[in-house]
Amino acid sequence: MATLALFDGPRTLADGAVWLPGFALPDDRALLAAVEQIVAIAPFRHLETPGGLRMSVAMSNCGACGWVSDRRGYRYENRDPLSGKPWPAMPPLFRSLATNAAASAGFPDFAPDACLINRYLPGAKLSLHQDRDEQDFTQPIVSVSLGLPATFQFGGLKRPDPVQRLPLIHGDVVVWGAAARLRFHGVLAMKAGVHPLLGAQRINLTFRRAR
Ligand code: MD6
Ligand code: FE
């Protein structure tokens, strides 16, 4: 009998970090429709780092607060600085996907209040960093990949620690928390390509409890 593997099971990356291949696949079209609605209100923009560099990844947010960067630093804001209005609400599907993924990775109490939406075009990258602008490091992070594949770098608790390279594809979800919460990670420069649903881009949804 022919079978179609939509979800080949979780893969533990480290204590507290789990890769869930294909976990978001059943929702891909609905997730992308919701992203379109959000960015019609809060458009993708290239933020400036505190050091004055333009980020190659374009970003937006939904939820009670959103991650922003400018010359004054990295932080969460209740309003979109471009419009002065609150960020669009987090769609119920986003919240349920994130909490279901967290629960299946061993975090049954995840309560996200922020969803950062990252858009990568070919060439865009995200340097090795820690996610440390949130108040409660007992809450995990849930990261959803859509569109073009990307090579995700997953390091240790210190920047020079060795990194694993994960080939994340459309529909993959990665959950990190507990002992892995402050691991360094990043995304290598995106290769050119065309995805059937998204064309020449990768969209990443990063869910967090910021406050
Ligand atoms: C990305 N993700 O995959 C960027 N951070 O496009 C992140 O920076 C990230 O995937 C914390 C935990 C998971 C992530
Ligand atoms: Fe991150």
CA 66/CA 7 separation, integer angstroms: 30
The tokens of 182 are what?
């402050």
Look-up of token digits 């080949």: 8
Residue whose C-alpha is closest to residue 144's, from 37, 63, 26, 12: 26
Mutating to test ligand 1, I would choose from 131, 139, 185, 205 the residue with most ligand atoms within 8 A of its C-beta, which is 185
5 pLDDT above the threshold of 70? no
E strand map for the chain: 11-14, 17-20, 58-63, 66-70, 73-77, 114-120, 126-129, 141-147, 150-154, 164-168, 173-176, 185-187, 202-208
- In CATH, which superfamily holds the domain spanning 11-208? Alpha-ketoglutarate-dependent dioxygenase AlkB-like (2.60.120.590)
Q: pLDDT above 90 covers what percent of the chain? A: 96
Q: Which ligand is nearest to the CA of 130?
A: 2
Could you say which DSSP state residue 66 is in? E
Could you say which DSSP state residue 132 is in? -
Cα distance from N-terminal residue to C-terminal residue, the chain: 49
* Nearest alpha carbon, ligand 1 atom 3: 204
The tokens of 4 are what?
């179609």
Mean of pLDDT values over 156-169: 97
Give the pocket of ligand 1 (CB within 6 Å): 118, 126, 131, 141, 143, 152, 174, 176, 185, 187, 204, 206
The tokens of 200 are what?
């020449």
Closest approach atom of ligand 1 to CA 118: 6
Report pLDDT digits (tens) over 6-24.
Answer: 567 899 999 999 999 999 9
Neighbours of 17 (CB within 10 A): 23
| Cα separation values, 97 from 63, 64, 81, 105, 166, Å | 14, 17, 27, 12, 21
Residues 173-199 as b/e (b if ≥16 CB within 10 A, e otherwise) read bbbbbbebbebbbebeebeeeebeebe
Mean of pLDDT values over 114-134: 98
Closest approach atom of ligand 1 to CA 120: 6
Predicted pLDDT of residue 191: 98
* Nearest alpha carbon, ligand 1 atom 14: 143
Domain boundaries, the chain: 11-208
Residue whose C-alpha is closest to residue 80's, from 112, 49, 44: 44
Mutating to test ligand 1, I would choose from 143, 174, 181, 190 the residue with most ligand atoms within 8 A of its C-beta, which is 143
Closest approach atom of ligand 1 to CA 186: 8
Predicted pLDDT of residue 3: 60
Work out the pLDDT band at 158, boundaries 50, 70, 90. very high
Could you say which DSSP state residue 111 is in? -
Closest approach atom of ligand 1 to CA 57: 6
Predicted pLDDT of residue 9: 84
